Structure 1
Amino acid sequence: MEQAALAISIIAVALSGLIGWRALTLARHANAVPTLVDLFAEHRGAHLSRARRFVYRELSSFDLTKGLDGLPDEAREMVRELGCFYDNLGALVAHGIVDVHAVSGYLGGSIVPVWEAMLPLVEAERATRTVHYDRERWQAYFQNLYLLVKEQPPGDARMHQSLWRLSR
């Protein structure tokens, strides 16, 4: 009789832990959904679309060895804001607030080429920074996001979702 009571107690504790874990996961996703929706909407917006188009088509024609200072004012602001957007998104992913699969599946096709186009500018900008903290921190979350997306490319991220039916 005591063994049956012990077995029931162990099962109850295990089920409680499983239910608690599931509730925590659902709560985390519930908090992440509005954040993702807002970020995806901002990414589709005219301002960041214009910035991505500039990075793809025109950024390489400027002297990127000067960092942001090598760009005209309007271009500098577009590139800075686009980089900050991806850096902020990378921070949310790195800290587990937003899932990398959702980000890679939806935005990975932009993250990779934007980082690769901006890399010379980022390296130059880091070299000129003389602030108290580690100068390598500038755009570090964006760089980490780029590496995560390279590990989990957009097609793979989508294919691993249980509700994805399209081929790559």
Structure 2
Amino acid sequence: MFLQIMLSAGAVVISLAALAVSSVMSWRQLKSMRSANHLPVAIELLTRDYGRPEFQRTERRILAELPAADPAGGVSGLPEPLHSSAIQVINFYDSMGILVSFGCVEEELVLASINHRIRRIWRTLEPFIRAERARRGGLYLDFLEDLAVRAHRRDPGDLHDQLGLREMPVGARAPARMRPPAPARVRPPVAAPASVRAGLPASGRARPGRQAPRRRRTMVRLGAGAGTPPP
């Protein structure tokens, strides 16, 4: 009887463990599917929007002109076209913060790509964002701020070591099979002998395809008494 109870209890424990493992695997699979659905959005933001020359020029303009502007009016108080440029840059970084906060993309993927730019854009926009929050009396660009906090907490060097990125030694040379082939040496032309320039090789024989000049033979006709010595 006791043995049957122990066997039943063991079967129940095994069933509960299997159910727990199955639930965890299902949750991870669901999370992976959600990440897979949102990953193209993050890649599109990083490659299409962030990589466009227009966006790069807009970001440089913001970084160069905002420090000279008055932050008292907040972001909405910026004059045009500075206001439109700031909104374009803010929307990009805030969208990346939303994707990271909801776990749609890995934090390491974003921080390894644009860590320095996130911190720099937050330092430039911070006084304007805080002034805008004071005007609205509520939250404003909180996902951008969360992304900036993550970027400040993660040292790029530690992230570099965590990912196991390799470094090229100073002065290292590529393997021989990867080096470009050496240019072929061109020998300078050698002057041909006079006989070759005249059409004959050094041996005096005619070149193939060319006939040597024929010697003329003098024909002497012998008349009567030929061969008789003169008197």
Shared fold (TM-score, shorter chain, > 0.5): yes
Q: Secondary structure at the match of 1:137?
A: coil
How many Å separate the matches in 2 of 1:143 and 1:7?
A: 46
Q: Which residue of 2 aligns with 1:49?
A: 56
8 Å contact from structure 2 (residues 72, 131) kept in 1: yes
Match of 1:30, as an amino acid?
A: A
Alignment match of 2:35 (pick from 7, 29, 37): 29
Alignment match of 2:94 (pick from 79, 87, 93): 87
- Cα deviation code 1:113-156 (max 9, x no counterpart): 00001111112222333xxxxx3311111111111211123443
Structure of higher RCO (CA pairs closer than 8 Å, 6+ residues apart): 1
Number of aligned residues? 160
How many Å separate the matches in 1 of 2:19 and 2:102?
A: 29
Structure 1 residue runs of 5 or longer lacking an equivalent are 130-134
| Cα 1:6–1:60 shift into 2, 3 Å | same
Higher helix share: 1
- Cα deviation code 1:64-120 (max 9, x no counterpart): 223235533111101112112222221222222222221111121111000001111
Q: Which residue of 2 aligns with 1:67?
A: 74
TM-score normalised per structure 2: 0.59
Give the % identical residues.
28
Q: Secondary structure at the match of 2:104?
A: coil
Match of 2:123, as an amino acid?
A: E
Match of 1:144, as an amino acid?
A: D
8 Å contact from structure 2 (residues 42, 99) kept in 1: no
Structure 2 residue runs of 5 or longer lacking an equivalent are 168-231
How many Å separate the matches in 1 of 2:135 and 2:21?
A: 55
Q: CA deviation at 1:28?
A: 2.9
8 Å contact from structure 2 (residues 35, 103) kept in 1: no
Runs of 4+ in 1 over 6 A off after TM superposition: none
8 Å contact from structure 1 (residues 106, 154) kept in 2: no
- Cα deviation code 1:26-53 (max 9, x no counterpart): 3133123212111112122233212221
1:146 aligns with 2:148: yes
